[in-house]
Amino acid sequence: MPQDALLDQHDGLGLAELIRRGEVAAAEVLEAAIARIEARDPAVNAVVHRFYEEARAELAEDGWDGPFAGLPFLLKDLYTFRRGRPCGNGSRWCADYRAPFDDPMVARWRAAGLVVVGKSATSEFGLNVSTETAQHGATRNPWNLDYSSGGSSGGAGAAVAAGMVPLAHASDGGGSIRIPASCCGLFGLKPSRGRNVTNDAWAGMTAFHAVTRSVRDSAALLDATCGPPAYHPYSLPKPERPFLDAVGSDPGRLRIAWHQQTPDDVPVHPDCTAALQKAVALAAELGHTVVEAAPDIDYAALRQAMTVIVGANMADALGPGNPLWPEGASEQDLEIVTWRFVERGNGIAAKDYLRAQQVVRSVGERLAAFLGAHDIILSPTMAQPPPRLGTIDTLHDDFDGFIHAVQPYVAFTQMFNMSGQPAASLPLHWSDAGLPIGVQIAAAVGAEARLFALAAQFEAACPWFGRRPPG
């Protein structure tokens, strides 16, 4: 079998097993990934920094171990630091920035055996649900190059879907793991708050993990990385059993509440409804109790709170005095919408920020109460299919228009960032136009094992691994 074909035939754990058995060398897998990036990235524009020589040198060192020993991996180019390597955050302003230290999660991924071969594209400072920037241009969906791969982890989604690497780092502050997973036909889990180390971005709403082609890769990676340091403000202990053990286990007869309730001005596309109904029927066939019910969420308050929290965090990150960029950014340095977030943030009063945090707590309380009566919330991942490139424009001076434009893509995802509960997008459906349409499952804080068990049931009943983008 040509080494290039290995990337199509196996998920990450499968490739790692071949390496352990000596059936293929890790260096061969790395070279196959590099060849794939060079051959396929020009079409999709997913990889913004390449670390080929560094990866080769690191792989030549002794002592590689872990469940993914020797596998190539992409870091997202957003607030994820490797000493001496670029971290541009999708921005012209940070194009020449080099990280002064190593991110704790990078150390954990490396300890899992992953070899960093490059960094993937992101929207500027993670603000857009489509990865289109003034610095790097548009990242295209491998399933149809006229469409978005999602955001802000659009480069990760496009690279894994295009077969460049078996899995890639992604982060999620409002849907940025699940949205690219939905757009690109992948599995994407946002872990519980405190499950992995984070930089506490966006008032603790951001989570780090990955997009993968299989459920088991996601579970094994979370096993390898979970557990924040003792000083972290959000802390969940490691589970008593590995998450990987949940894959293929019987979750029991789950109480699944499904809904497609959105803010009043956000319609749900028929393709997304079809994906949801397919998942509902499949859950019933698998023996679960399925009812239509929706949590009581004040979407207007949620939207306003997110705008306040993100604005305040952007003003802090990009204003003078930040330890990473002490000089601060100017309007000319940034995309227009990014600067408008900074401006809004500079005008936010302390009481408004506190009230926004109260909304965060309220959403968490409402979802926790709802999940006291139901084991799983099932919904579309997005209210609309992947958008055409250019649909959501951060270079146009219309802040309110931008906020309105992103709502169809975050209507089902944002609440779980506020609540801190785990949620995952599953690629169970493809539209007649050939675009992936994801469905989302969510559970109580700390219940990732339940999500992995149910996701694996869906994966076995409706396999997606063999589906490949054209070309």
Which residue out of 76, 218, 379, 425 is catalytically annotated? 76
The Cα–Cα gap between 441 and 288 comes to 14
351 counts as catalytic: no
**188: three-class secondary structure by DSSP:** strand
Residue 360, amino acid: V
374-412: buried (b, 16+ CB within 10 Å) or exposed (e) per residue? Answer: bbbbbbbbbbbbbbebebbbbeeeebeebbebbbbbbbb
Contact 140, 471 (CB under 8 A): no
Residue linked to tokens 């996701």: 455
Which residue out of 123, 153, 176, 379 is catalytically annotated? 176
419 counts as catalytic: no
Which residue out of 123, 152, 192, 425 is catalytically annotated? 152
The Cα–Cα gap between 85 and 52 comes to 12
91 counts as catalytic: no
Beta strands in 340-422 (DSSP E): 376-380
Give the DSSP H or E segment for 108.
helix 104-111
The Cα–Cα gap between 165 and 176 comes to 19
CA 101 vs CA 84, 88, 108, 323: distances in Å: 8, 15, 14, 12
The Cα–Cα gap between 420 and 10 comes to 32
* Secondary structure letter of residue 118 according to DSSP: E
Burial of 167 (0-12, 13-18, 19+ CB in 10 A): buried
Burial of 438 (0-12, 13-18, 19+ CB in 10 A): buried
From 243, 250, 227, select the one nearest 13 (Cα to Cα).
Answer: 243
Contact 44, 139 (CB under 8 A): yes
Peptide bond into 152 cis (omega under 30): yes
Contact 207, 201 (CB under 8 A): no
* Secondary structure letter of residue 98 according to DSSP: B
The Cα–Cα gap between 377 and 296 comes to 13
- Which residues are designated catalytic? 76, 152, 176
